[in-house]
Amino acid sequence: MNSHTAALFVLSMPAMLLFVGSIILISKCRSAFSWLQLIGSAGLMLVVLTHFAEAFELIPWTGWGLENSTGHWLDLGSAVVALTLFPIGYLAHALAR
């Protein structure tokens, strides 16, 4: 295991915790804000999964690591979703309480 994959395993833990926490929140409180958090944390999990696929060279036709490839746009799009929807949902949920 090289240092890149070891860092992925360590850095994937907060993303998994956010995802599980969002699932627990949606089971307790079904509001639009909790759905935004869940979709945002799912986007973060997709970022983690694309980096795992890149590290282990899974699905090579996506062109992981290449500019303007399918893998690049999937990673970028899911990061944008994660970094916009999760904070909006979290902040709105906190302010609504």
Q: Decide if 93 contacts 31 (C-beta within 8 A).
A: yes
Question: Among all chains, which residue has been given the structure tokens 């089971």?
Answer: 27
Which residues have a Cβ under 8 Å from the Cβ of 31 and sit 6 or more positions away?
93, 96
Is pLDDT of 58 > 70?
A: yes
79 has pLDDT over 80: yes
19 — phi, psi (to 5°)? -65, -45
**pTM attached to this predicted model:** 0.86
pLDDT attached to residue 1 = 64
Question: For the CA atoms of the chain, what is the radius of gyration?
Answer: 15
CB atoms within 10 A of CB 12: 17
Q: Would you state the pLDDT for residue 38?
A: 95
Locate the domains of the chain by residue range.
3-96
